[in-house]
Amino acid sequence: MEIVNNKPNEWEQNIIDNAVEYSIMEWRPLDKSTKTIVKTYDEAKSLYDKTSKNHKATLVYAINEAGRYANMNHLEDFKKRDN
């Protein structure tokens, strides 16, 4: 069994720690994706929980003041769950 390191690297962690907003994206082909921006981690977690139940290709990003994104799907709060 291979052990996978799911911890963010230093660059990602800095963006996550200094996020000013979060993006929850339901990825769909043919330009049908939808993106919702929320201001707090708790809002992102709540929206992810609701969205991912019906749409498995849901991505969550932290966005810092400079507009840089870091994926958060590797964090425990945003991992895919079997519902």
Q: How far apart are CA 70 and CA 62, in angstroms?
A: 5
Residue 18 domain flag: yes
Residue 40 domain flag: yes
Residue 79 domain flag: no
pLDDT digits 0-9 by tens, 62-77: 999 999 999 999 888 9
pTM of the model: 0.81
Contact 68, 37 (CB under 8 A): no
Residue 30 domain flag: yes
What is the number of domains present in the chain? 1
Helix (H, G, I), strand (E, B), or coil: what is residue 24? strand
* Mean pLDDT for the stretch of residues 34-45: 95
List the single range of 3-7, 34-38, 48-52, 73-77 with lowest mean pLDDT: 3-7
33 pLDDT band, cuts 50/70/90, is confident
List the single range of 12-16, 29-33, 73-77 with lowest mean pLDDT: 29-33
Residues of the domain holding 56? 10-71
